[in-house]
Amino acid sequence: MPYPAGRHFLQIPGPTNVPDRVLRAISAPTIDHRGPDFARLTHDLLDNLKSIFRTTGPVVIYPSSGTGAWEAALVNTLSPGDRVLAFETGHFATLWRELATNLGLQVDFVLGDWRHGVDPDVVAERLGKDTGHAVRAVCVVHNETSTGVTSRVADVRAAIDRTGHPALLLVDTVSSLGSIDYRHDEWGVDVTVSCSQKGLMLPPGLGFNALSEKAVRAGATATLPRSYWDWQPILTANQRGFFPYTPPTNLLYGLRESMLLLAEEGLERVFERHTRHAAATRAAVRAWGLEVLCLDEREHSAALTAVLLPAEHDADKVREIILDRYDVSLGTGLGRLAGRVFRIGHLGALNDVSLAGTLAGVHMGLKLAGVPIDPGGIDAALRVLSGS
Ligand code: PLP
């Protein structure tokens, strides 16, 4: 393979591009994780994470991927045989359901078409019928990374409240935190699950749980077996600035830096940038004459766009051409969408020109692959980016 000049475009919907400042922060020497400098780092991180999750409650950090943080949310709040209400919004909701089932939970899985988010009316209907309050938790994936559909968590909360049902609300923000507006406290979420490698612009390796008081109380009586994931020893050690086991020190340096970057840009502006990039991407896709997978205008993801190809074209073949010829990585179709869609990630550290470059790579790749497209896609995207 000849040396590919220029920067690789990592435009999958996570892991995302890691900014140079974060990479430099990660490369600092590892320090004693039981020493005073480390304690200061921990206190600083745990304080700042609250503003990212928009909570005043505790945030637990794990050396894990998002899957670990999923498991932690369940084992800390639930007991064997507990009923959980979950929604088939796509591949990741399906994986979380499988994990819950493997843990011995009974999951009521509301089937979906992978083109819509969670319907708040269905939440109200299901919980309204559960007069005995057998359902202990409602699990929602905020941004379904396999489909580019963002569920309306505030409306889900309102639906739960309408029924007066006491179920916990567990929300996966793996691909929304730091990219799409999210409010743990205001939306009455009990456990928010997230991780490092998407909107936080870090490499994979950190998982998070943000906890409500109700979640912590549920933890006191929940009996699913847990040890590594147990919140209590972590919360106790965190008070002194430490962890019950060896923490991923260098990723934590990176987290400190990435939160500084988000604060410098300002979270509101970060969300606006993602929204604008998503609108520009959809404008390109539609002008090319292709279909955006998400079918509800209220639910378009600001973090990624899944593009549905005509049935006679293999989306993976198109991705392969775009990678080989233009050094741009796009997300593959997952689960039942394999070969049908490719996903353009526009989350994390990305500016207008990088997005325009990505879309140019997609445009040229579609043409090389013989997918018939109208030529106006890039112009349509640039009009959105330039606000004209
Ligand atoms: N949830 C969502 C929405 C995801 O996109 C992913 C991974 O991309 C996961 C959970 C699982 O996270 P991980 O692969 O880091 O374990």
Which residue out of 195, 200, 337 has the highest number of ligand 1 atoms within 8 Å of its CB and is therefore the one to mutate? 195
Residue 121 CB contacts under 8 Å (≥ 6 apart), including other chains:
159
Q: What is the model's pLDDT at position 241?
A: 98
Q: Which of 12, 70, 91, 92 to mutate to test the pocket of ligand 1 (most atoms within 8 A of CB)?
A: 92
Domain span at residue 318 reads 9-16+266-386
Name residues contacting ligand 1 (CB within 6 A): 14, 65-67, 92, 141, 145, 172, 174-175, 195, 204
Same domain as 218, residue 304: no
pLDDT at 1 over 80: no
pLDDT tens, 255-276? 999 999 999 999 999 999 999 9
Of 213, 229, 263, at which residue does a domain stop?
A: 263
Ligand 1 nearest atom to the CA of residue 14, by list position: 8
Could you tell which of 12, 67, 304 is best to mutate to test the pocket of ligand 1, judged by most ligand atoms within 8 Å of the CB? 67
- 2 pLDDT higher than 80: no
Distance, in Å, from the CA atom of 386 to the CA atom of 388, rounded to the nearest integer, reads: 6
CATH value at residue 308: 3.90.1150.10
Rounded to the nearest angstrom, the distance between the alpha carbon of 255 and the centre of ligand 1 is 18
Same domain for 174 and 293?
no
Residue 340 Cα to ligand 1 middle (Å): 20
CA distance to 43, 50, 158, 278, per residue, from 291 (Å): 46, 38, 31, 14
- 172-211: pLDDT as tens digits: 999 999 999 999 999 999 999 999 999 999 999 999 999 9
Domain count of the fold of the chain: 2
Nearest atom in ligand 1 to 67's CA: 16
Q: What is the pLDDT of residue 388?
A: 80
pTM of the model as a whole = 0.98
50 Ramachandran zone, left/alpha/beta (phi>0; psi -120 to 50):
alpha
Last-in-domain residue among 263, 297, 318? 263
